[in-house]
Amino acid sequence: MIYLDTLQIRNCTIGELIFGGFRCFTLELPWRWNSINISCIPAGTYAVEKYDSPSKGKCLLLSGVPDRSWIEIHQGNFTREIQGCILVGDGIRDIDGDTIPDVVNSVKTIQKLLYALPERTQIKVRRSY
């Protein structure tokens, strides 16, 4: 089981993803009532599997998210790269100077995460607002 604990702050949602001894940070859009492409997903437990996305490369695909589909955990640094998905990195910093937190070292982090995980598992998303 993967655990994702998050906290919504101004303009985004940041979190910590934990699987066994593996830990990383996450970046999502803020809560906007689960609206497609503009909101983080609701709290809950979802199936997750390794997936080769045509646009994002190797990533994780979540299923069972209410009223949503094609929710991925993938590489990326900025909220402007998110359409309802989850980005991962090994740190959080404002790397582009827009005052919105970003994740760093995303490519290496998704590679390490994919290596650590089995083909299929579950993710438990917990939200603090």
**pLDDT, tens digit (0-9, with 9 covering 90-100), for 47-92:** 999 999 999 999 999 999 999 999 999 999 999 999 999 999 999 9
Residue 94 is predicted with a pLDDT of: 96
- Nearest-angstrom CA–CA distance, 113 and 84: 20
The whole model's pTM is what?
0.95
Cα–chain center distance at 75: 9
In 3-state terms, what secondary structure has residue 111? helix
CA 70 to chain centre: 12
Ordered by start, the domain boundaries in the chain are 2-128
